[in-house]
Amino acid sequence: MKNKSILKLSFVALFAAIICAGCFLKIPLGPVPIVLQNALCILTGTLLGGILGGLPTALFLVAGLIGLPVYSGGSSGIGVWAGPTGGFLSGYLIGAVIAGFIAGKPSISQKQFSIKNLLRVSLAIFAGMTIIFVPGIFHFARWAAHNNKIPEGKTAFSYAMKACVIPFIPGFFIKIGLCIPVALKVRPMLAQYLFDEKTQVDKNEPEDLTEEVDID
């Protein structure tokens, strides 16, 4: 049990490092760039499942908050949270936790393909990626209104939708399409080391078979 706890913490740290490493992968697109970190947060949440799935994202967010250059483009600090994309950071954590709870704890039995497992993982990733937009949109709208960034003739919400959602729809579905097969493949592998206490029965172990003998 102790070894499994150490392994869980190790994977949390590993996944947090992977999320942090994604900070330099971005495509500038107006005030809100296209980034890979959102997909990594949701993917790690889906892989680990439950509240454990949110820990890598939480660790990543804390690292950036204390000054490590792990946010998009190598940025860090409280100023990023106050900026136009600050709401998306909180969305990363909310989305990762929700994805983790929907996906549930991985199991070795998930090696066998099933429609139920496919739908569950797909829903987890889709819901997690979608939830990210909610705090992101509201924070951006408030930031735009406070800094007089709203174009004439537009509302804060419509401007936020145009800046934060519409340009990212194609990438949104591409990321989901990439994350689903990865999650389906990796989840049972993680379960073997982190969750399942009992290993599968060795196929070479002799089975207790009894033969019925007819005595005439």
When pLDDT is cut at 50, 70 and 90, the band that residue 196 belongs to is low
pLDDT band for position 30 (cuts 50, 70, 90)? low
For residues 143-165, give the mean pLDDT.
92
Residue 5 has pLDDT above 90, yes or no: no
The beta strands (E) that lie in the chain are given as 26-27, 34-35
Spatial distance between the Cα atoms of 177 and 199, rounded to a whole number of angstroms: 31
Q: What confidence tens digit (pLDDT) does each residue in 57-103 have? A: 999 999 999 999 999 889 999 999 999 999 999 999 999 999 999 99
Nearest to 92 by CA among 55, 130, 57, 142: 57
> Using one digit for the tens of pLDDT, what is the confidence trace for 102-128?
999 999 988 888 999 999 999 999 999
**pLDDT for position 15:** 97
CB burial of residue 105 (10 Å; 0-12, 13-18, 19+): middle
- Domains of the chain are 2-194 (1.10.1760.20)
- Stronger pLDDT, 208 or 179, i.e. the higher one: 179
pLDDT at 207 over 70: no
Compare 205 and 143 and report the one with higher pLDDT: 143
Decide if pLDDT at 206 tops 90.
no
Q: Is 70 exceeded by the pLDDT of residue 136?
A: yes
